[in-house]
Amino acid sequence: MPIRPHEYATLENKLGLKSREGRDRHSWFEWEGNVITRTRRSHGSGELPHSHAIRQQLKLNEEQLREFLACKLYRDDYVAILRDKGLIEPKESS
Amino acid sequence: MSTAPLVEQFPAPPVKHQADEVKPGEGTVNLTLVFGAPPQIVQTLQLGTLRHPALRVIEPFAVSFAMEGENVRACAEEIDEFGFGASYSGALVDLQHAIAELYFTLEEDSERLGPDLARVWSVLQTKIRHRDANQAA
- Is pLDDT of A89 > 70? yes
Which positions in chain A touch B107 (Cβ < 8 Å)?
none
Torsional class of A71: left (φ above 0), alpha (ψ -120 to 50), beta (otherwise): left
Say if B11 is an interface residue toward chain A (CB within 8 Å): no
B12 has pLDDT over 60: no
What pLDDT is attached to residue A75?
94
Of B94, B97, B123, B98, give the one whose Cα is nearest residue B110: B123
Q: Could you report the per-residue pLDDT of B14-61, keeping only the tens digit for each?
A: 555 444 555 666 666 667 776 776 666 678 999 999 999 999 999 999
The yes-or-no verdict on residue B136 having pLDDT over 90 is no
Q: What is the pLDDT of residue B8?
A: 53
pLDDT, tens digit, 9 for 90 and up, residues A35-67: 999 999 887 666 666 778 899 999 999 999 999
CB-based contact A36 B117, cutoff 8 Å: yes
Contact between B101 and A22 using a beta-carbon 8 Å cutoff: yes
Chain B CB contacts of A87 under 8 Å are 114-116
Q: Residue B109: closest CA among chain A residues belongs to which residue?
A: A35
What band does B65 get if pLDDT is binned at 50, 70 and 90? very high
pLDDT band for position B109 (cuts 50, 70, 90): very high
**Which of residues B85 and B137 earns the better pLDDT score?**
B85
* Domain layout of chain B by residue ranges: 40-136
Instruction: Summarize pLDDT for A63-82 with one digit per residue, the tens.
Output: 999 999 898 999 999 999 99
Mark yes or no for CB contact B101/A35 under 8 Å.
no
**A74–chain B Cβ distance below 8 A for any pair:** no
Residue A14 has pLDDT above 70, yes or no: yes
Closest by CA position to B103, among listed B88, B81, B84, B83? B81
Q: Given this model, what pLDDT does residue B18 score?
A: 47
Residue B68 and residue B82 in contact, taking contact as beta carbons nearer than 8 Å: no
Q: Is A50 within 8 Å of B73 when comparing Cβ atoms?
A: yes
Query: A38 and B117 in contact by Cβ < 8 A?
Result: yes
Chain B residues with CB inside 8 Å of A49's CB? 68-69, 71, 73, 84
CA atoms within 13 A on the CB side of A12: 16
Interface predicted TM-score (ipTM): 0.88
